[in-house]
């Protein structure tokens, strides 16, 4: 009587996690410092000291029953107000606390947003390349995920393909900028074209089409660029955020859904999120973590190392002849493999202790992802191995 749907998910184990496990095992054989592990997007810059101070201060000064007491199911009001104020200041929005729904990271935010605006049988479009876990979040709502083929020129959105696929059955579009795995940042032109298309299709079909925007890398930007804030371009936008990357605390599972105040039924959407949470038994993120991130809202760790690593890798890869879109943010780079079969390419790289992730599970064949959230010294040490791998095989 075990549920077969969930049991089946065990077979679809994440390729990224499997490679990460391989890297750990190989590290035990030859020393982890000798494995060039580019598999996992686990932040490598320290948590800001201010966050630790705030946590300790809460524990030392607050009444324990208040501090650890029930959070309202819609989240703690003061926390929501602080997040809204910060977003308004940084991005010129008009959120109130009622538009913010605290969640267990971006994963929780996406899963709630998807459940809120789709029903079983609806289609959700996802432009490739995309984060593989999206398929889990979408499948469990009963909606169907459809992949929009990638714009491999610039890893923006392939607008013609998107328009073709944007039928009356589409309830939502799920995008991710800055993008995992490509590192591309959607520019203003992309977001304006996207919004125009969605507005036109909403009118044509006579129903809402929601834009679910996954933004955990929002603060990891290079070359001094500013990323346009997606929700400013399209009213029916649900922004899904995580503090995992900006504060380097992926284990603490904290983020939020921010519902554009111009969304139809904007405040209803956050209220419905709390009902979804009630039903899946999650209720709300831990009180102390909600309170702590609200105190450091807008702060980030020191991200400079990611840009240094991007520069080193982009230079080396292009010199070695790889086709590669220069990442504008995140800590990923997504070059074209040197043979058609990305999995075969990555298997060969393993012989040089280079752990690269083949692109197939990101919805694009023939590429590979490197997660360079590692020490710069390790990136430097990996370059000779990368050169050797290429020269001996291609």
- Residue 297 engages a second copy in binding (rule: CB under 8 A): no
Measured from the CB atom, is 4 or 226 closer to a second copy?
4
For residue 287, give Cα distances in angstroms to 8, 79, 86, 253, 342.
Answer: 34, 10, 19, 12, 44
Task: Pick out residues in 300-329 that bind a second copy (CB under 8 A).
Answer: none
**Token pair in block for residue 47:** 């948590």
Taking the CA atoms of the chain, what radius of gyration do you get in angstroms? 21
- Nearer to a second copy by C-beta: 2 or 92? 2
List Cβ neighbours of 27 (8 Å cut-off, separation of 6 or more): 33, 34, 35, 37
**C-alpha angle with apex 354: 176 to 394, nearest 5 degrees?**
100
Q: How many residues bind a second copy (CB under 8 A)?
A: 79
Nearer to a second copy, 75 or 97 (CB): 75
With CB under 8 A as the contact rule, the residue among 31, 69, 92, 224 that binds a second copy is 69
Residue 265 makes contact with a second copy by CB under 8 A:
yes
Smallest distance, a second copy to C-beta of residue 264, A: 8
**Signed CA dihedral, 321, 322, 324, 327: sign only:** negative
Residue 238 is a binding residue for a second copy (CB under 8 A): no
Residues 91-130 as x/- pattern, contact with a second copy by CB under 8 A: ------------xxx-xxxxxx--xxxxx--x--------
Q: Do the beta carbons of residue 175 and residue 213 sit within 8 Å?
A: yes
Do 314 and 324 contact (CB within 8 A), yes or no? yes
Residue ranges of E strands in the chain:
36-37, 100-103, 123-127, 144-148, 170-176, 210-214, 237-242, 255-259, 332-333, 354-355, 357-358, 368-371
Q: Smallest distance, Å, CB 25 to a second copy?
A: 15
| 249 contacts a second copy (rule: CB under 8 A) | yes
User: Smallest Cα–Cα separation from 298: which of 90, 46, 100, 47?
Assistant: 90
Nearer to a second copy, 46 or 321 (CB): 46
Span from 134-142, 149-157, 211-219, 311-319 in contact with a second copy (CB under 8 A): 134-142
The structure tokens listed for 122 are: 């609806």
User: How many Å apart are CA 304 and CA 149, to the nearest integer?
Assistant: 32
Residue selected from 152, 283, 308, 311 as contacting a second copy according to rule CB under 8 A: 283
Pairing of strands 332-333, 368-371: antiparallel
Span interacting with a second copy, options 2-10, 217-225, 315-323, 329-337, rule CB under 8 A = 2-10
> Could you say whether residue 7 binds a second copy (CB under 8 A)?
yes
Shortest Å distance, C-beta 16 to a second copy: 11
Q: What residues numbered 207-236 form the site for a second copy, per CB under 8 A? A: 207-210
Q: Which C-beta is closer to a second copy: that of 75 or that of 363?
A: 75
Map the footprint of a second copy across residues 38-57, applying CB under 8 A: 40, 42-44, 46-47, 52, 55-56
Residues 6+ apart with CB under 8 A from 34: 27, 353
Query: Cβ of residue 68: shortest distance to a second copy, in angstroms?
Result: 4
Query: Of 148-156, 175-183, 281-289, 337-345, which segment contacts a second copy by CB under 8 A?
Result: 281-289
The DSSP output letter for 199 is H
Among 31, 92, 224, 281, binds a second copy (CB under 8 A): 281
Q: Alpha-carbon torsion 295, 297, 301, 302, what sign?
A: negative
d(CA 49, CA 247): 10
Candidates 189, 262, 278, 347; binder of a second copy (CB under 8 A) is 278
Does residue 86 belong to the site contacting a second copy (CB under 8 A)? no
């Amino acid at each position: 009587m075990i549920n077969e749907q969930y049991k089946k998910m065990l077979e679809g184990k994440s390729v990224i996690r499997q490679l990460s496990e391989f890297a750990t095992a190989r590290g035990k054989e030859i020393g982890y410092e000798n494995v060039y592990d580019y598999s996992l997007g686990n932040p490598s810059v320290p948590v800001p000291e201010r966050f630790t101070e705030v946590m300790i201060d809460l524990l030392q000064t607050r009444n324990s029953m208040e501090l650890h007491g029930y959070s309202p199911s819609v989240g703690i009001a003061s926390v929501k107000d602080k997040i809204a104020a910060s977003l308004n200041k940084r991005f010129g929005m008009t959120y109130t606390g009622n538009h913010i729904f605290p969640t267990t990271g971006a994963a929780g935010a996406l899963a709630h947003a998807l459940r809120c605006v789709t029903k079983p049988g609806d289609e959700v479009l996802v432009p490739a390349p995309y984060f593989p876990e999206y398929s889990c979040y979408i499948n469990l709502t009963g909606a169907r995920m459809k992949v929009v083929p990638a714009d491999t020129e610039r890893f923006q959105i392939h607008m013609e393909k998107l328009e073709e696929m944007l039928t009356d059955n589409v309830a939502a579009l799920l995008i991710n900028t800055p993008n995992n795995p490509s590192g591309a940042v959607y520019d203003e032109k992309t977001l304006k074209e996207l919004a125009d298309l969605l507005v036109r299709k909403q009118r044509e079909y006579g129903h809402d089409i929601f834009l679910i925007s996954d933004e955990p890398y929002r603060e990891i930007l290079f070359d001094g660029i500013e990323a346009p804030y997606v929700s400013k371009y399209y009213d029916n936008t649900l922004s899904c955020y995580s503090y995992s990357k900006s504060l380097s605390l992926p284990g603490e599972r904290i983020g939020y859904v921010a519902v554009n105040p111009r969304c139809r039924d904007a405040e209803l959407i956050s209220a419905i999120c709390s009902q979804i949470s009630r039903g899946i038994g999650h209720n709300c993120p831990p009180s102390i973590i909600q309170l702590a991130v609200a105190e450091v809202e807008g702060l980030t760790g020191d991200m400079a190392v990611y840009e240094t690593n991007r520069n080193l890798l982009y230079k080396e890869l292009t010199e070695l002849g790889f086709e590669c879109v220069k990442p504008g943010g995140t800590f990923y780079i997504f070059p074209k493999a040197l043979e058609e079969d990305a999995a075969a390419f990555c298997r060969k790289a393993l012989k040089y202790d280079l752990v690269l992730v083949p692109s197939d599970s990101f919805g694009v064949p023939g590429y590979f992802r490197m997660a360079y959230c590692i020490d710069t010294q390790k990136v430097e040490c990996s370059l000779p191995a990368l050169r050797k791998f290429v020269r001996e095989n291609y």
